[in-house]
């Protein structure tokens, strides 16, 4: 039987890696380091998935453009000091391995930097399963469709063959802008109601249900 989605593109933070709380904490601590007001958890969570400069300019609107490099350095200091402690969501390694074994083309489209994603792929051991990856410092940030366009071109697939899986409205809007179907997961950064408003093919509540849905429908 032909696969409905030969190519599966995953977001990383909040979809594969349980990192949303660490990202929020990093943004807050970086704000404190620069003597700026700390954003609310809701505001900090909203920017997960964006490129770092876009994320910080929204999360901390008081930040002067001249201070972006310092803010980025402090955020990376706080986040990278503990990223090796973060864990994948339950069942994700087994799901990725099984999807790869079934012949799916697997890719990552993430707001992380290349340095950050490479570290995450190495720590997780999942790098061997992914055929292509794109990061926010290599492309326009989500929801611009550039990451998906480049991945489709590299992997030789059409939009109808691709499913984007993510935990933020940025992921779902990027998919829509690229003409690609999207699957939402509500166990990451953005609330379920916000995700459902973007009309994904489904909204999945747990990592276990994500695995079951993909293995049955992809």
Q: Can 13 be counted among the known catalytic residues?
A: yes
Sheet holding 162-166: strands in order across?
Answer: 132-135, 105-110, 7-10, 162-166, 181-185, 203-204
The answer to whether the pTM exceeds 0.85 is yes
Whether 67 is a known active-site residue: answer no
β-sheet bridge partners, residue 105: 7
Residue by residue, pLDDT tens for the chain (218 residues) are: 456 999 999 999 999 999 999 999 999 999 999 999 999 999 999 999 888 788 888 999 999 989 999 998 999 899 888 877 889 999 999 999 999 999 999 999 999 989 889 989 998 999 999 999 999 999 999 999 999 999 999 999 999 999 999 999 999 999 999 999 999 999 999 999 999 999 999 999 999 999 999 999 99
Record the tokens describing residue 141, joined without a space: 């940030």
Domains of the chain plus CATH, in order, are: 7-18+88-217 (3.40.50.1000), 20-84 (1.10.150)
């Amino acid at each position: 039987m032909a696969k409905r989605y030969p190519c599966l593109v995953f977001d990383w933070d909040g979809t594969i890696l349980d990192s949303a709380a660490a990202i929020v904490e990093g943004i807050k601590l970086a704000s404190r380091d620069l003597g700026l007001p700390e954003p609310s958890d809701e505001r900090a969570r909203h920017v997960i998935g964006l490129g770092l400069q876009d994320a910080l300019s929204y999360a901390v609107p008081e930040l002067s453009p001249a201070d972006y490099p310092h803010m980025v350095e402090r955020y990376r200091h706080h986040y990278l000091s503990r990223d090796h402690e973060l864990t994948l969501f339950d069942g994700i390694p087994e799901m990725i391995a099984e999807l790869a074994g079934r012949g799916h083309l697997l890719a990552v489209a993430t707001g992380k930097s290349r340095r950050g994603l490479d570290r995450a792929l190495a720590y997780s051991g999942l790098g061997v399963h992914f055929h292509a990856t794109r990061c926010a410092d290599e492309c326009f940030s989500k929801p611009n469709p550039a990451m998906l366009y480049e991945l489709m071109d590299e992997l030789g697939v059409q939009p109808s063959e691709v499913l984007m899986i993510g935990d933020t409205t940025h992921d779902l809007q990027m998919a829509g802008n690229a003409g690609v179907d999207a699957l939402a997961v509500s166990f990451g950064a953005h609330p379920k109601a916000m995700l459902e408003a973007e009309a994904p093919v489904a909204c999945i509540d747990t990592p276990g249900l994500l695995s079951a849905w993909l293995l049955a429908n992809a």
